[in-house]
Amino acid sequence: MNAPLLNAPLFPAAVGAADTPLLIAEGLTRYYGARLGCGDVNLTLHPGEVLAIVGESGSGKSTLLGLLSTELAPSAGRVLYRMRDGATRDLEALTEGERRLLLRTDWGFVRQHAEQGLRMAVSAGGNVGERLMAVGERHYGRIRAEAIDWLGRVEIAAERIDDDPRTFSGGMRQRLQIARNLVTRPRLVFMDEPTGGLDVSVQARLLDLIRQLVAEFGLAVVIVTHDLAVARLLSHRIMVMKSGHVIEEGLTDQVLDDPREPYTQLLVSSVLMP
């Protein structure tokens, strides 16, 4: 009997030193007509590092996430990514086929609204299995075994494997979306307000799950959030955005405990105020 896929890596090990950046943004800029969405952003992300991008609504954080994940095209600047063969590629130079393969395999994207990240008319197991098929797995038994394993990891009972996600609660949908994204062992995961819209108790469970899985798999993560408590819990570094620009960045605890910029001080104090 064949062992589940979890017992072996889906991809060969990445080439290159661990301290080589995985993702690099250089002068990243996006205009919407005459309005600036994101201006001249530079960043690096290393394997296993979690970067939080924070700011109020309209600050540019979602635009930056869209640019990094190739969902938006930059007006200027570029995004570079170190592939598994060790080559660093300009993402804008990828073919559409290469980009889609990257999105289905080496990257994950956990969205605020789970229905945007799931196929709602496909069973829970089918949602997970589709990602495995994208990396070439065709054996039904192994796909189903891996789906059951991942449902267990995200605290969804195995007997729900054939259920429609439309019958799931909001928290269960988010956990299913996480399973769908992580089953291919991506190296980089984008998260857009992953706990937004959930009640406090569900948020707490989901954050604990995310933190556990990020640590277990050594994921690099870019997370957009307006919630500084989420940033503090999950991230190593933080970037604060205002009016499309990064105004402060550094180690998360340092920035949140001793913010330099008045805007960051205001954000922090608004969270700490009763």
- Domain count along the chain: 1
The CATH number linked to 241 is 3.40.50.300
pTM: 0.90
| Dist. CA 59–CA 55, nearest whole Å | 6
What letter represents residue 62's amino acid? S
Rounded (5°) CA angle 189-190-194: 110
Q: Supply the pLDDT for residue 14.
A: 43
Domain that holds residue 209: 5-272
Residue 181 pLDDT level (bands cut at 50, 70, 90):
very high
The helix-helix angle for 200-217 and 170-182 (nearest 10°) equals 10
Average pLDDT of the chain, as a whole number: 90
Note whether 198 and 170 are within 8 A (CB).
yes
Quickly list DSSP for 47-90. TT-EEEEE-STTSSHHHHHHHHTTSS--SEEEEEEE-TTS-EEE
200-256 pLDDT tens trace? 888 999 999 999 999 999 999 999 998 999 999 999 999 999 999 999 999 999 999
128-176 pLDDT tens trace? 999 998 888 889 899 999 999 999 999 999 999 999 999 999 999 999 9
